[in-house]
Structure 1
Amino acid sequence: MIDQKKAEEAVYQLLSALGENPEREGLLDTPKRVAKMYTEMFAGLNEDPKDQFTAVFSEEHEELVLVKDIPFYSMCEHHLVPFYGVAHVAYLPSDGKVTGLSKLARAVEVAAKRPQLQERLTAQVATALEEALNPKGVFVMVEAEHMCMTMRGIKKPGAKTVTTVARGYYKENPDERRELLSLIRGN
């Protein structure tokens, strides 16, 4: 649970340390607003992506399930600035065990709402899906732009980082993984 008062004090101290006057008119409520924003942006700290798979059904479907272009926003844990993009989540059901499609997007959202690394976010979504459904295969791909590369440092707006995790069937079968990538890319 986020300590709202402590967060407000920290923002106040940061503004002061930067040479700003936190008491001036435009900044008076900034510590409160920033603390409230971080409470929303880090809401995933209190949740497990695996717990999002509450709707699991038995269905005679053991072919690919893919939800692509799931938008997300997260915060780089190294600089506390945003990174954002889309996630593509696929699985190959086992024993007809499927989940509600929105649950895949919810797992991405929960994993993203915390100080995060893109590589970890990708793996957390794959692990959550694997643990919840025990599918034959899982594939997660995340494409994101990192503001720590856009606003500061190397300053390369538009550069995208792509991370993937392939498990089970998709790790063992490169041809199937290529076909899946083709579906994701729209080829």
Structure 2
Amino acid sequence: MSTTKGSDGARGVTPLVVRADQLTGDDESPATEARGLEFENLVRRQLELLGEDPAREGLVRTPSRVARSMAFLTRGYNLRVEDVVGEGVFAEKHENMVMVRDIELYSMCEHHMLPFFGKAHIAYIPNGKIVGLSKLPRIVDMFARRLQVQERLTGEIAEAVQDVLAPHGVGVVIEAFHLCMMMRGVEKQNSKTITSALLGCFRDDGRTRDEFLRLAHTSGNGP
């Protein structure tokens, strides 16, 4: 299986599915079909190694379901920041902090291939440009839909916003629960992992940093 490196610096194996039509099954190219069958065979063999019978009623379609699920959960490998931002950058003289918080995210731990999930809070101080608010969650999803560690995910999001906008600074905080800690290993159900990435004035100016962290940790889900 080949290794790829995208323009954002991410490394990964060539994914099973690479476009939206392939995700929905509309792409019937021989290469896509062959990759799908290979993945299904791997899942079927895994079931056998677990002592299961892949031919029993409840598992007959499991290999194909798993293949499609993994394609969906790792679709970020074939997206670039410019793909998800598109034409969503605008000239604007606003000079104060812009923040989108409580962005839900779901990703897969690269160590155990188990999910982790939580929320991201993103802020930046514009330098003549702003980005459409929906683009920040899209950037989060692009990097989260890969095999990840939370520390790297946090930094990749911050660097992407920096690359797109060249703002005075960027701040990202992620709070997440990891199933690899909850359902195996230490089995701690309430341990939350918090990571941050601070660039520019968010790193260098204490008042900006403090304002961001205060807003990021303000409780409440409503407006």
By the TM > 0.5 criterion, same fold?
Answer: yes
- Correspondence for 1:8: 40
State the identity as a percent: 45
| Superposed CA offset, 1:4-54 (max 9, x none) | 222111110110111111111111110011111111111101112454222
Matches of 1:117 and 1:45 in 2, distance apart?
15
2:138 to 106, 110, 131: 106
Moved over 6 A (4+): none
Measure, in 2, the Cα distance between the counterparts of 1:50 and 1:66. 21
1:172 counterpart = 2:172: no
Report the TM-score when normalising by structure 1.
0.96
Q: Output the TM-score relative to the length of structure 2.
A: 0.81
Unpaired stretches in structure 1, ≥5 consecutive residues: none
Moved more, 167-176 or 72-81: 167-176
What is the CA distance between 1:162 and its match in structure 2?
0.4
Q: Displacement of 1:175 after TM fit?
A: 2.6
Q: Is the 8 A contact 1:50 1:131 kept in 2?
A: no
**Counterpart in the other structure of 1:68:** 101
Structure 2 runs not aligned, ≥5 long: 1-14, 17-34
What does the per-residue CA deviation read over 1:91-124, in whole Å, with 9 as the maximum and x for residues that have no partner?
0111x20010000010001100011110111011
Where does residue 118 of structure 1 map in the other structure? 150
- Check if 1:18 corresponds to 2:50: yes
Aligned: 1:31 with 2:63:
yes
**Whole-Å separation in 2 of the counterparts to 1:50 and 1:163:** 25
* Structure with more relative contact order (C-alpha pairs < 8 Å, separation 6 or more): 1
Task: Letter of the 2:113 partner, please give it.
Answer: L
Helix, strand or coil at the partner of 1:84 = strand
Amino acid at match of 2:130: V
